Structure 1
């Protein structure tokens, strides 16, 4: 509201009367009223918060000043001055009340703003907590999915390994392999070679393929191919034949994909017989090639 600035008419009139007559009459009550009015006029809150009351106070003071200018009786002047003082006081109190109401309203508004800010902060914090919880839940789900996938992969790997081991054991069983303190021993009988020759027969090559399949599944194993004969013939011939048969098996395995660097050979001739050599059946058992597979890459012990 626009500030109302009032110049008491009494002052203007007193100036006019001063120019044409003697000094107007005044009293302490009137002086006090003028002082109170001046103080109220200097307070912007009075004019803005109590404009009607301030206008009534100004009019009352004008009437008191007019009475003084006309040199009315002191009682009349004091009465009008008293009324002016009361209206001035009323304007001041009304202004204070309005200001108090405004202050209360401002305080309430500020309180509401603070509460709103607090609720907003709480909502933001709750939203942030929810976001963190959602992120943690998503991470936990991702971790669980990863763990499940790892477990499934491990289970699949274990099943594959079990299947591989089962297949390997079946292959070894088909080859009538035996577990010894030197390693796994696969025996190739004499019938897999032509008579008194080192070359593998067609059946011998099929058996070599089976052995190669086993060796390819055991990349850590080293292989020793040992050749043996019966006691028929000279010792030198038997030793040379046993070595050639061992070399023939080595060449066949190498040709089937087994790295040649992991295959060693040794011919023993008629040494280390497994039968008496007293009859044809016993001698056939002694004519053999033994393939020794080490366990976990360990070196193969010498024969005792």
Structure 2
């Protein structure tokens, strides 16, 4: 078990009252396959991590989990005692001050690979983390959180850098992705992108299975349990807009979930700041031609998809006009131009891919 105790998982002065923080101890204890009874007869290691592979702190180092014997009542009592003991140790590790001013999830996985290198039988690694790496090949500080090409480029960069640990034969679960008490919360499409990134990074390690989810227990922070002095780290932020330059055209992408409520074409109150930023960026580019296109996922039928995508494109066009940006054209492409594929895997919907495809793109052609 690994839990992220870096600064990004703790509230700061800007978090405001009532913020809920990820409860990694409760998340891990409740995770599938990690109940003390299910661990009986095996070995358990538990660590907190932050900055690098070298700073992973194995608070529990390959402890044998002895099977509980006796009648049903005794087994239940001792099982409950084991669970309380494990949760207490996890909370102690979680409360420990960060040892570095960075977060390196791949480094933590590499340390877990070292820990399991001599293990026989089934091997499982469960990591409770927000996934906001800000160092090494998977540094997300400048990420656009948009599209599969950026994910592929990150995985390939990590492969070339030799930073992907060898996890062949191990089951890997990453829980709590995107769950940070700091800064603005990610949109659903950005959470989906982050989940897809860690799924593909995990698969690239050769793990036998990879389960990545944003699910995590949360709780109110205790007074005075913020970040310790001297451990503030560079923050990974979720951009309201992202852009991709290609030749003379720069494409600015706004996630659908930032702009609209589900199956609606009216701009939500939250869209204002994203559109303000988009308008500012368009002016900076000194545009020659500006066009807007709306995109949906494949659900809802072709006719509805085209109506909705066009209506959303027109809504953004009107909003930009109100900000002094002349838009030459607006189109609705429904699901004809997906950026994340496939939307279905073995017949089951891939909601991460669907969320990624729901977007509005602003293509800005600039002067040479």
Same fold (TM over 0.5): no
Calculate the TM-score normalised by the size of structure 1.
0.38
Larger radius of gyration: 1
Answer 1 or 2: which has greater helix percent: 1
Calculate the TM-score normalised by the size of structure 2.
0.32
Greater length-normalized contact order (CA 8 Å, ≥ 6 residues apart): 2
